[in-house]
Amino acid sequence: MNYDVVVGLEIHAELSTNTKAFCTCSADFGADPNTHICPVCTGQPGALPIINHGAVEYAIRAGLTFDCDINRYTKFERKNYFYPDLPKAYQISQLDLPICVNGKVELSTGTVVRINNIHLEEDAGKLFHDDFYGQSLADYNRCSVPLIEIVTEPDMHSAEEAVEFVSKIGLYLKYLNVCDAKMQEGSIRADVNISIKEKGSEKLGNRTEIKNLNSFRSIQRAIEYEVKRQSEILDNGGTVVQETRKFDDTMGTTSSMRSKENANDYRYFPEPDIMSIVFTEEDIEEARRNIPLLPHQRVDKYINEYGLTDEDARVLTLEKYLSDFYDETVAIYPQYKNVSNLFQTEIMRRVKDTEEEVVPISAEGFAKVCEMTDKNIVNRNDAKTIIRIMFEEGGEPEEIAKANNFIVVEDAGETEKFIEELLDSNPDLVKQYFDGKTNMFGFFMGQTNRALRGKATPTLVRECLEKALDKRKP
């Protein structure tokens, strides 16, 4: 039978604050295990948390961006569970009055995904179950790194919509400078809730929740697998068990992890060590001021202010670091269209498959190459070589151009001389030109450019040729 697919997401995004949510330990990723820890984030008795106001402001920024209402009064709860990745045995989170509620995000399909809430909480540590002589190892560096959890209503209807939602959220969080959204480092992870129902029916089916998916591909495959599995159950007259399942990346299958826990299983209670927060209008305005131009606004700016095409504007804003680099370049050398062309052909393809999300050359250097190309100081092919050398070996564009004899040295005298001779030895062609065969101009240009390669720019050739023809006007 054919069913409607229903998907709701809980997206965890690690905030890129310098320090953790409730202590001053570094929140950086990738340090040696257990070097970013202290009595607070490892839950030593008597240690007291202090809230990181930066993380709170980041959460408000995200809420405003996704059209949420900001609760003027917010507080924190303890969510208790016992697991070795959580030395305190509870996570500080929010249940009743999360910072942001009632948002929405629109997808390219036209579907509007409602956001139930965005709340602030802390991350847990990381366990390694590789075979260390039968032992597991714990790294607590990630304990208490601030997270926002974005909880949607069950408003998506396919794996593709779920993937688009996660990717849009990631892109916007990056533009907001609140999360680096590197899925491969786990800074964005999604719990995916999936159910199916009879086509057109109002009544939602029983859902399963797949925990901790950290790539678009696994989100896509997990949903596809679950839809197939649940469809087979219903086709055979069975009922889907509401439960938490895990996804096996190698097999592309999901399997039962545990029966679904409820909020009361976590024995939520008020966090007694952190004061509730009352936001003033000024707090919210401050967060609003910290919201930079968002992807759709950059697209508008590129089209309306820079005169780029829709397609160029879209391509340039697909990644924040690329859009930032383009902006830096045109701030130095505002030839929007020319910079965009050279950027798309020579820079974007070189960084396309890298993970670091940086352009390894400077915007100043790139602006210089664009300018030298526009002014015909170097020709376009040599400009490409200069960029390649800058990527591979570093260095300043002008030095590279000189060292490789790429600089076009103009010699006006020689150009004039060549053109005079060319015209003198082709009187019939000159006559044809004045008889109306204007494409002769292009022929003379071509001959001269070829002969004087590296000594005259097309601009100079054009000037000299116009002068020489003028003299011969009948």
The 222-261 site mask, x for binding ligand ADP (CB under 6 A), equals ----------------------------------------
**Is 255 buried (19+), middle (13-18) or exposed (0-12) by CB count in 10 A?**
exposed
Tokens linked to 386: 């200069």
Which residue from 84, 81, 25 is spatially nearest to 50, judged by alpha carbons?
Answer: 25
6, 68, 377, 464: residue in contact with ligand ADP (rule CB under 6 A): 6
378 binds, options ligand ADP, Zn ion, none, Cβ within 5 to 8 A by partner type = none
**Least distance between Zn ion and beta carbon 42 (Å):** 7
94: burial class by Cβ within 10 Å (0-12, 13-18, 19+)?
buried
Does residue 25 belong to the site contacting Zn ion (CB under 5 A)? Answer: yes
Interface with ligand ADP, residue 204, by CB under 6 A: yes
- Report the alpha-carbon distance of residue 152 to residue 190 in Å, rounded: 11
Q: Please give the residues from 138 up to 157 whose contact with ligand ADP meets the rule CB under 6 A.
A: 151-154
d(CA 362, CA 390): 9
Give, as ranges, the residues between 39 and 78 that touch Zn ion (CB under 5 A): 40-41
38 makes contact with Zn ion (CB under 5 A):
yes
Among 166, 161, 162, 167, smallest CA distance to 150 is for 166
Q: Cβ–Cβ contacts within 10 Å for residue 410, how many?
A: 18
Binding-site size for ligand ADP (CB under 6 A) equals 16
Q: What whole-number distance in Å separates Cα of residue 305 and Cα of residue 240? A: 54
The two structure tokens encoding residue 193: 């809730």
Segments of 123-260 assigned E as strands: 126-132, 135-139, 146-152, 188-198, 208-213, 243-248, 253-259
Nearer to ligand ADP, 115 or 287 (CB): 115
Beta carbon nearer to ligand ADP, 204 or 318? 204
Q: Which of ligand ADP, Zn ion, none lies near 151, with the C-beta cut-off 5 to 8 A by kind?
A: ligand ADP
Residue 9 as a binder of ligand ADP (CB under 6 A): the answer is: yes
Which amino acid makes up residue 323?
S
- Contact range with ligand ADP by CB under 6 A, out of 3-11, 26-34, 232-240, 443-451: 3-11
Out of Zn ion, ligand ADP, none, what residue 454 binds, judged by CB under 5 to 8 A for its kind, is none
Least distance (Å) from ligand ADP to the CB of residue 98?
11
Closest contact distance (angstroms) between CB of 5 and ligand ADP is: 9
- Pick the stretch among 12-20, 63-71, 97-105, 204-212 that binds ligand ADP (CB under 6 A): 204-212
According to CB under 6 A, which one of 19, 74, 195, 317 is a site residue for ligand ADP? Answer: 195
- Answer with the entry of Zn ion, ligand ADP, none that 154 interacts with (C-beta below 5 to 8 A by kind): ligand ADP
3-state secondary structure of 431: helix
Smallest separation (angstroms) from ligand ADP to the CB of 185: 24
Q: Are 145 and 120 in contact (CB under 8 A)?
A: no
Backbone phi, then psi, for 193, in 5-degree steps? -105, 125
Give least dist CB 28 to Zn ion, A. 12
The half-sphere exposure of 146 on its side-chain side, counting CA atoms within 13 A, is: 30
164 Cα distance to chain centroid: 13
Residues that bind ligand ADP (CB under 6 A): 6-10, 151-154, 193-195, 204-205, 207, 263
